[in-house]
Chains A and B, each alone.
Chain A
């Protein structure tokens, strides 16, 4: 192999890897994007990251908030308020597995909204939170 062709070979490899990586990242946003669209059809206002943040951090009259278990930083590990079981960071930028599975997103919205607010979250709340989370 000549010097030039091996450089080309390496370049092609790098481009391929970059494409594959983009594909993985694209998938992550595809799931949350699709869900955002669905929530939007049931919501009254446009989703905003600010509203998502507010919903996430505001303690309820029972003292509970998302931070009770997820901690104060989305980029750090949280822990279950009662059992101490560790909870991986929520931010997709440090934990690429987040927001990639529809089933999980729905499951945890159901469980955690009921625990925190004593009711299911509205499409508006879920959309705001999901938008904010997906940007982290």
Chain B
């Protein structure tokens, strides 16, 4: 049985096909662009520091803070995080090279706001961090958790491992995951 395809049907078909192609090609391009700027932390850094806690991206703290942290690994926020000199030097260089500084990562530049001349050692103590988490600070007030609540970024920023902290990616509700 043969059926004549009408002009209208042809147009609709062509439109659908173009739309599919457009989305497909567009998707590939966007994916490629996103991949290009994808966050890729240093392997040794993640192995050494990520064994005990989320390996905070270097770009979340200014260089002087990283240097301060790396100088005091023997008492690392009440933990011992010593490592051999070669490893420590390598990691310090990596962190300093990729540290928070103007122009480094526009998405994280909010952390540079009102940066004091002697920056704190902890990300959660940066004025820019406090400013960008004002509503969350209000939420935890009275919870008796203190600033430690904020230490595991990945509890709320579920894609922190990929260096993604976008507000749009936040799940509903706050608080530690089920670990």
A positions within 8 Å CB-CB of B: 79-80, 82-87, 103, 107, 110-112, 114-115
Q: Which residues on the B side are within 8 Å of A86 (C-beta)?
A: 179
**A108 nearest in chain B by CB position:** B51
Known contacts A86-B179, A114-B74, A80 near B52 by CB under 8 Å? yes
Candidate in B51, B81, B83, B152 with the most chain A CB atoms within 10 angstroms: B51
Contact A111 B80 (CB under 8 A): yes
B161 interface residue per 8 A CB criterion: no
10 closest residue pairs by CB, A with B: A83-B53, A114-B80, A115-B80, A111-B80, A84-B179, A80-B52, A85-B52, A111-B82, A85-B53, A110-B82
**B79 nearest in chain A by CB position:** A115
B104 interface residue per 8 A CB criterion: no
- Whole-angstrom CA separation of A82 from B176 in the bound complex: 13
Shortest CB-to-CB span from B88 to chain A, Å, is 11
B141 interface residue per 8 A CB criterion: no
B93 interface residue per 8 A CB criterion: no
Known contacts A112-B80, A114-B74, A114-B80, A85 near B51 by CB under 8 Å? yes
**A79 nearest in chain B by CB position:** B179
Total A-B contacts with CB atoms under 8 angstroms apart:
36
Contact with A along B34-61 (1 / 0, CB 8 A): 0000000000000000111110000000
- Whole-angstrom CA separation of A43 from B110 in the bound complex: 55
Candidate in B50, B54, B179 with the most chain A CB atoms within 10 angstroms: B179
Extra contacts, 10 of them, besides A86-B179, A87-B51 (Cβ < 8 A), are A79-B179, A83-B54, A84-B176, A85-B53, A85-B54, A107-B84, A111-B81, A111-B82, A114-B82, A115-B79
- Whole-angstrom CA separation of A114 from B151 in the bound complex: 23
- Whole-angstrom CA separation of A112 from B50 in the bound complex: 16
Q: Which residues on the B side are within 8 Å of A115 (C-beta)?
A: 79-80
Contact B83 A107 (CB under 8 A): yes
Shortest CB-to-CB span from A104 to chain B, Å, is 9
Shortest CB-to-CB span from A84 to chain B, Å, is 5
Q: Which residues on the A side are within 8 Å of B54 (C-beta)?
A: 83, 85
Shortest CB-to-CB span from B71 to chain A, Å, is 16
- Whole-angstrom CA separation of A132 from B52 in the bound complex: 24
- Whole-angstrom CA separation of A134 from B168 in the bound complex: 48
- Whole-angstrom CA separation of A87 from B52 in the bound complex: 8
Q: Which residues on the A side are within 8 Å of B81 (C-beta)?
A: 111
Residues of B115-154 whose CB lies within 8 A of A: 151-152
The contact sample of 23 A-B pairs, CB cut-off 8 A, is A80-B52, A80-B53, A82-B78, A82-B79, A83-B52, A83-B54, A83-B152, A84-B152, A85-B50, A85-B51, A85-B53, A86-B179, A103-B84, A107-B82, A110-B80, A110-B82, A111-B81, A112-B80, A114-B74, A114-B80, A114-B82, A115-B79, A115-B80
- Whole-angstrom CA separation of A107 from B84 in the bound complex: 8
Shortest CB-to-CB span from B139 to chain A, Å, is 21
Q: Which residues on the A side are within 8 Å of B151 (C-beta)?
A: 83
